[in-house]
Structure 1
Amino acid sequence: MIIGLHVQVTVNRPLGSTHPEHHTIQYPLNYGYVAGVIGGDGEPQDAYVLDVATPVRQQTGYVVAIIHRRDDNETKWVVAPKFRFVTEAEVRKATNFQEKYFQDDIWLL
């Protein structure tokens, strides 16, 4: 079970930064990866970080949702510092800046 898993996210795109290839995409939250877990693209597992209002380099927390992209080979984990229940609407609103380009399902507990 991935939801509920306690992880450490290494943030390589902090809140306020721009996407390295698509300069019109700005990150309204911290985004990074979970080292030691390989995602569908063969790279470390990507993760969005909710509930942290400042740019950080690392954040520990709990996986509270999974975004399964139907038209891509990746899933994105959604992590919060404290475990809590989130809604699909909340996850969509927080990640829409990037996920609007994909068809996805959001998996919740």
Structure 2
Amino acid sequence: MEHPDFWSALDELIRRSQLVIDRPRGSAHPRFPALTYPLDYGYLAQTSSTDGEGVDVWQGSAPAQSLNAIICTVDLEKRDIEVKLLLGCTREEIQLVLDFHNRSPSMKGLLVPRPGSTP
């Protein structure tokens, strides 16, 4: 079932927010140095997610930097659930992000592609 108002609301949130990339592609995770970020990773400034921080964003390399999917994650160590936005991600980049969120036994992610979005 499509929910265009949901996706439009996310588009509006992105338009109204500044994207801050604080973990560039190839950088190491602050707590797990062996884990590197496959894409630029950051957050929307002056927003909040379930962890009290800004809404997380993965930024891909596609020329159109529009929202093409979200990933819902559960982290058993932190005991939280979050939604992460994927902006301008190619199919390959989406798979990299999904793999990133599913490689640990304590974290799992579920991809929700935007209906009609073709990276």
Q: Percent identity?
A: 27
Residues 21-49 of structure 1 deviation map (CA, whole Å, 9 limit, x = unaligned): 10001112100001122111111011111
- Read off the aligned partner of 1:64 and give its amino acid letter: N
When you count strand as a share of all residues, which structure comes out higher? 1
The two structures, once aligned, show a CA RMSD in angstroms of 2.7
Structure 2 spans left out of the alignment, 5+ residues: 1-5, 115-119
Structure 2 counterpart SS, 1:19 = coil
Please tell me whether the aligned partners of residues 60 and 93 of structure 2 are also in contact (alpha carbons under 8 angstroms).
Answer: no
Question: Could you tell me which residue of structure 2 aligns to residue 98 of structure 1?
Answer: 100
Report the equivalent of 2:38: 28
How far apart are residue 97 of structure 1 and its match? 5.2
Q: Kindly tell me: are residues 21 and 9 of structure 1, through their superposed partners in 2, closer, same or farther at Cα, counting changes over 3 Å? A: same
Q: Is the 8 A contact 1:26 1:97 kept in 2?
A: no
TM-score of the superposed pair, with normalisation by structure 2 = 0.66
* Matched position secondary structure for 1:73: strand
Give the TM-score, by structure 1 length: 0.71
Structure having the larger proportion of residues in helix: 2
Structure 1 residue ranges, 4+ long, deviating more than 3 angstroms after superposition? none
- Residue 98 of structure 1 aligns with an amino acid whose one-letter code is F
Q: Is the 8 A contact 1:69 1:103 kept in 2?
A: yes
Where in structure 1 are there 5+ consecutive unaligned residues? 53-59
Structure 1 residues 61 and 76 mapped into 2: Cα distance closer, same or farther (>3 Å)? same
- Number of residue pairs matched by the alignment: 96
The match for 1:77 among 65, 70, 85 is: 85
- Larger relative CO (CA 8 A, sep 6+): 1 or 2? 1
